[in-house]
Amino acid sequence: MNICCDVAVIQDLDLTRYKTFHAVPNDSLITFAEAKHMSAYAELVAGFVGMVFELTPSKLRRIRTKTQKPTNHISPFLYVSGILYATAQGILETIRNRKFDIDIYSNDDPLT
């Protein structure tokens, strides 16, 4: 499955034979991010969770804890320039309750 991400962090690979339309293997992907210039609705957030499931399913099995050692890389994240609509807020609460290792940022919860 080929998915285009806005930002992808990959392992150090020799990319000289890769063209812009080639995909690196999923196991070479370290983390990724999507950015949307819009407000978020439930399907957008759920779609991002689905992308995490397809590309880095370990992030959905890695449970966040207060004593968890920090990693060298940020977690996969979705950034929207607007707000999270109530439906998207509900999906975000589910993500947090399940302690998935992904982040959702918005105008209400900025990236910086």
Q: What is the pLDDT of residues 30-43, one digit of tens each?
A: 999 999 999 999 99
| pTM confidence score | 0.81
Predicted pLDDT at 61: 76
Predicted pLDDT at 103: 92
The domain ranges of the chain are 7-105
Strands ordered across the beta sheet of 103-105: 7-10, 29-36, 77-80, 103-105
Mean of all residue pLDDT scores within the chain: 86
Judged on CB neighbours under 10 Å (0-12, 13-18, 19+), 58 is: exposed
Residue 104: pLDDT above 90? yes
Q: What is the pLDDT of residues 78-100, one digit of tens each?
A: 999 999 999 999 999 999 998 89
